[in-house]
Amino acid sequence: MFNQLSDKLEGVFKNLRGQGKLSERNIKDAMTEVRLALLEADVDYSVARDFISSVRDEAMGEKVLKSVTPGQQIVKIFRDKLAELLGGDQAPLELTPPARILMVGLNGAGKTTTSAKLALRLKKEGRRPLLVACDLFRPAAIDQLETLAREIDVPVFTPDRDEKNVIKVAKQALKWAETQNGTVMIFDTAGRQEIDDALIRELEDLQKFLQAKEVLLVADSATGQQAVNVAKRFDEAVGISGIVLTKLDGDARGGAALSMRSVTGKPIKFSGVGEKIADFEAFVPDRLADRMLGMGDVVGLVEKAAEAVDEKDAMKMAERLASNQFDFNDFLQQMKFMKKLGPMENILGMLPGVGKKLKDINVDDGKMKRIEAIVLSMTPYERSRPEIINAKRRKRIAAGSGTNLTQVNQLLKQFSMMRKMMKNKGKMKGMMKQMGMGGGGFPGLPGGGKLPF
């Protein structure tokens, strides 16, 4: 997401930073390029126009034009205005009792999956979420929510599949909740391919009965301008309190994220950043603004790492690395850690200055799986003593992992190079310091992060 827009913005600001002095003409030309980039990214026309006008007015100030580094001053202004456009401060959920959250949106936006993702997040925060299936229009959604609830071990209320009265279901759910000791209820509601009168009436009646303090619109960020219009309609009908953007890990142009906050006046509270149930994040405007401008999100990366790794395991790993005892068993553990962090493209995008270089780094998940298959095809003794893996053993490992001898040899060669590199304790300390744990990330990727094959 935002890669194309980020590249264009980086080009514009690189030119501005390269000039010792700026004139009004320079700034106007740059802002024209930025406006076109925003429009190409599906940002609403009026939002792009007002945003550029705001940036231009501040950038034209005497303080900026006479600054020693006017280009950098303008980048800072743009970054601050962008964070403001995205919503300013992070918006928390209103969860005072009775805490009820109504999930609304069109079919295909990901309401049911997002309901489960939100429940898991609240559970990790120490709350006791309850899920309620109120999508009576699509029976498969009830089955899906039931399956996801089992996966995350959260209680779920499912109605009779023939029931069509959503208020009756809501009443049954509230009575059921009295026996569950929950602290927050999440209602997954029905959607349609497009907004129609029947859908709006059902949601209005349900909200009138529940009086939910949070009405979250789940919107597919890949739908561009349509998502903005959908947000306006739902807000007018049921009064949304916030937005959840799904598929932010995709290749959509990102205009919806930049437009919806401005058009509706309602904050974006969460974002779905992957297919896994744990790929769900609080939406922090200033962090996204930094990532869009190639400044990374180190705080977000540290938070992900802290959530994914066990402190004792990290210390044990650090000790093994420091004593040069790292083997393929440790390698597997690091791979599991990386899987918990999410797609590698997302992780690399959180590192300052890496975003634009992603296109040059091979992060094919298929190759990661092949590497894992090779390691799992080794015996425990081979994993702990990789130096004993001779030609005969390599052939067996290749056959067992469904790969070929060349791929096995490449992995072993890179692993050997990595272990040699780790003997340099100065490099080791630097790597460990960067990630707050042994190995500095994925230890099997020396040489710029490229996979062996």
Known binding residue 88? Answer is no
Q: How far is CA 451 from CA 93, 161, 344, 365, in A?
A: 41, 48, 12, 10
Known binding residue 190? Answer is yes
Known binding residue 179? Answer is no
Known binding residue 282? Answer is no
Residue given tokens 């080791």 in the structure block: 428
What are the structure tokens assigned to 288, written together? 């996204």
Known binding residue 438? Answer is no
Known binding residue 106? Answer is yes
Known binding residue 165? Answer is no
Known binding residue 105? Answer is yes
Known binding residue 251? Answer is no
SS3 per-residue string spanning the chain:
CCHHHHHHHHHHHHHHHCCCCCCHHHHHHHHHHHHHHHHHCCCCHHHHHHHHHHHHHHHCCHHHHCCCCHHHHHHHHHHHHHHHHCCCCCCCCCCCCCEEEEEECCCCCCHHHHHHHHHHHHHHCCCCEEEEEECCCCHHHHHHHHHHHHHHCCCEECCCCCCCCHHHHHHHHHHHHCCCCCCEEEEEECCCCCCCHHHHHHHHHHHHHHCCCEEEEEEEHHHCHHHHHHHHHHHHHHCCCEEEEECCCCCCCCHHHHHHHHHHCCCEEEEECCCCCCCEEECCHHHHHHHHCCCCCHHHHHHHHHHHCCHHHHHHHHHHHHCCCCCHHHHHHHHHHHHHHCCHHHHHHCCCCCHHHHHHCCCCHHHHHHHHHHHHCCCHHHHHCHHHCCHHHHHHHHHHHCCCHHHHHHHHHHHHHHHHHHCCHHHHHHHHHHHCCCCCCCCCCCCCCCCCC
Known binding residue 107? Answer is yes
* Residue 104 near residue 217, CB atoms below 8 Å: yes
Known binding residue 109? Answer is yes
Please state, in angstroms and rounded to a whole number, the distance separating the CA atoms of residues 35 and 47: 10
Chain Cα centroid distance, residue 128: 24
* Residue 323 near residue 40, CB atoms below 8 Å: no
Known binding residue 246? Answer is yes
Q: How far is CA 230 from CA 233, 237, 263, 394, in A?
A: 5, 11, 11, 57
Known binding residue 358? Answer is no
Binding site listing for GTP: 105-112, 188-192, 246-249
Binding site listing: 105-112, 188-192, 246-249
